[in-house]
Amino acid sequence: MTLQERVWQRRNRLRNRFSSPASSESGESPASAPAPRRKSTLADVAEQAGVSTSTASRALNGHGGLAPATRAAVEDAAARLNFQPSALARSLRTQRTFTVGFVVPDVSSPFYAATLQGAQGTLERAGYRVMLMDANQDVDRELAAVETLLSHQVDGLLISSAGLPRDVFEGTLEDRPTPTVFFDGVIEGAGDGAVTLDDERGIVLLVEHLVEHGHERIGLLAGSQRESAGAARFRAFLSATAVHGLKPEKRDVKLCSWAIEDGRRAGAELLAEETPVTAVIASSAELALGFMSAASARGARIPDDVALVAFDDPYFGDLLEPPLTAVAYDPRSVGAIAAELLVAGMRSQPERRELRIPVKLVRRRSCGCGADRAQ
C-alpha cells in the first residue's frame, strides 16, 4: 500500500466514523458516545462479518477452503474495522515470533551500525523484525541481553560477542534451542554459523605492504584480546611478521580496547619510546584515529616520522590528513550474510557454516605511498 493510498484510506475512515449512525452529533449520553475505541480484535471482525472467529482467522490467513463470499465479507469487515492482528497473541499461539535478536558490543560504532543495517535489510525481506540490544562492551550485559531476547522467544539470534565463554553461552541456550549465528566477535565452535572478516589475510596485506616500504620495526595497536577479531589479528600479526624475519618486541604491541581514546593513549606510549617503531598497524579505524591524534599532539608526522596503516577503512578515510592506508571490506555484507545464514538456519537445520568476508588493501598516503615514490 502506498502512502497516497493510506492517506485516502485514512480520510475514508474518518468519513465513515462521522456518518456512522451510532455517533449522532446530538447523542450526548455516555452510552451513545463513540466507545473508547479499543483496538479491534479478530472477534470483532468475525462478528461484523457474521462468521466465527475460526473462519475469520482462516479467511485472513488464506488457509483452507473458504467460500469466496465469506472470505470477501471477512476481508471487508477487517478493513472497515482497521483490524491489525495482535502479534503477541499470534506468537503465543504459534510459538513463532518472526523476530530475531541482534546483540553487539556497541551500536554506535560505524562498523556495527553498518552490520545492523545489512542484517536488517536481509531479515526484513525474509519477514523478520529485529530486536536490538547493545551490550556496551560488557560480557555480563551481553549475557543479560541474550536472556532477555530468549524470554521474548526470538526465532533467532545474531551476535557479535565481546568474549562470552562458550559454555556459559550454551548453558543459557540449552533449554531453548534457538538458531544463532555469530559475526565478527565469534565464539569458537558455538552457534549454527559464524561470519568473520578475513583477519589473517588483512594483517598479511598490511604487514607485507609495510615491509615493501622498508620497515623493519612495526608496532601494533591490537585491540581487545577478549574478542575473537582482536585476538585473530594479533596472532596474524605475529605470524606475518615472522614470515619476514621480524620479531616484534613486546613493548611494541599494545593490547588495549577499541575506543579512539585507547588508540590515543597506546599511540602516545609507542611514540614516547627512545627509539620508536617506524610504522604501526592499528587493528581498527578508531585506534588509527587515536594514533593520529597522539601523533599530531606530539608533533610526529605521518608517514614521515612514523607510517600508519589500519585494519578497517572508514568512509572518510581519504579525507583524513594524511589519507589512511587501510584494509577495506564491506561491513554491510557481514551483517547481510550473517542474516542469510540465520534465515536458512531458522527454516531448516543445515550444517554449521563458517564464512569469511574478503578484504582488500587500499593504498593511500599514511603508509608512505605517494609521499616518497619509493614503494
Q: How far is the CB of 97 from DNA (least distance, A)?
A: 12
In terms of residues, how long is the chain?
Answer: 375
Query: Measured between alpha carbons, how far is residue 138 from residues 18, 160, 286 in Å?
Result: 55, 12, 18
Count of residues near DNA by CB under 7 A: 34
Q: How far is the CB of 24 from a copy of itself (least distance, A)?
A: 20
Residue 370 contact among DNA, a copy of itself, none, beta carbon within 5 to 8 Å by kind: none
Q: How far apart are CA 219 and CA 277, in angstroms?
A: 6
Binding positions for a copy of itself, 111-130, rule CB under 8 A: 113-114, 116-117, 120-121, 129-130
Residue 60 contact among a copy of itself, DNA, none, beta carbon within 5 to 8 Å by kind: DNA
In eight-state DSSP terms, residue 368 is S
Instruction: Give the 3-state secondary structure of residue 94.
Output: helix
Indicate whether 67 belongs to the interface with DNA (CB under 7 A). yes
Residue 182: its H or E element: strand 180-183
The amino acid occupying position 316 is F
In eight-state DSSP terms, residue 134 is E
Q: Please report, in angstroms and rounded to a whole number, the separation of the first and last CA atoms in the chain.
A: 57
Residue 143 contact among DNA, a copy of itself, none, beta carbon within 5 to 8 Å by kind: a copy of itself
Binding residue (CB under 7 A) for DNA from 1, 31, 69, 319 = 69
> Which residue's CB is nearer to DNA, number 44 or number 142?
44
> Which residue's CB is nearer to DNA, number 56 or number 190?
56
Residue 22 contact among a copy of itself, DNA, none, beta carbon within 5 to 8 Å by kind: none
Q: How far is the CB of 13 from a copy of itself (least distance, A)?
A: 7
Binding positions for a copy of itself, 137-166, rule CB under 8 A: 139-140, 143, 147-148, 150-153, 165
Q: Are 80 and 40 in contact (CB under 8 A)?
A: no
Q: Which range of residues in 10-18, 36-44, 155-163, 262-270 is near DNA by CB under 7 A? A: 36-44
DSSP code string of 216-271: --EEEEEE-SSSHHHHHHHHHHHHHHHHTT----GGGEEE--SSHHHHHHHHHHHH
Binding positions for a copy of itself, 176-205, rule CB under 8 A: 176
Binding residue (CB under 7 A) for DNA from 13, 47, 53, 318 = 53
Handedness of CA 122, 123, 127, 129 (dihedral sign): negative
All three cell numbers of 1: 500500500
Residue 146: its H or E element: helix 139-151
Instruction: Give the 3-state secondary structure of residue 197.
Output: strand
Indicate whether 356 belongs to the interface with DNA (CB under 7 A). no
Residue 321 contact among DNA, a copy of itself, none, beta carbon within 5 to 8 Å by kind: a copy of itself
Binding residue (CB under 8 A) for a copy of itself from 23, 32, 86, 239 = 86
Closest by Cα among 253, 249, 234, 241 to 209 = 241
Binding positions for a copy of itself, 260-299, rule CB under 8 A: 260, 289, 292-293, 296
Half-sphere CA count of 51, side-chain side, radius 13 A? 24
Indicate whether 320 belongs to the interface with a copy of itself (CB under 8 A). yes
In the complex, the residues that contact DNA under the rule CB under 7 A are: 38-39, 41-43, 50-55, 57-58, 60-61, 63-67, 69-71, 83-86, 88-90, 92-95
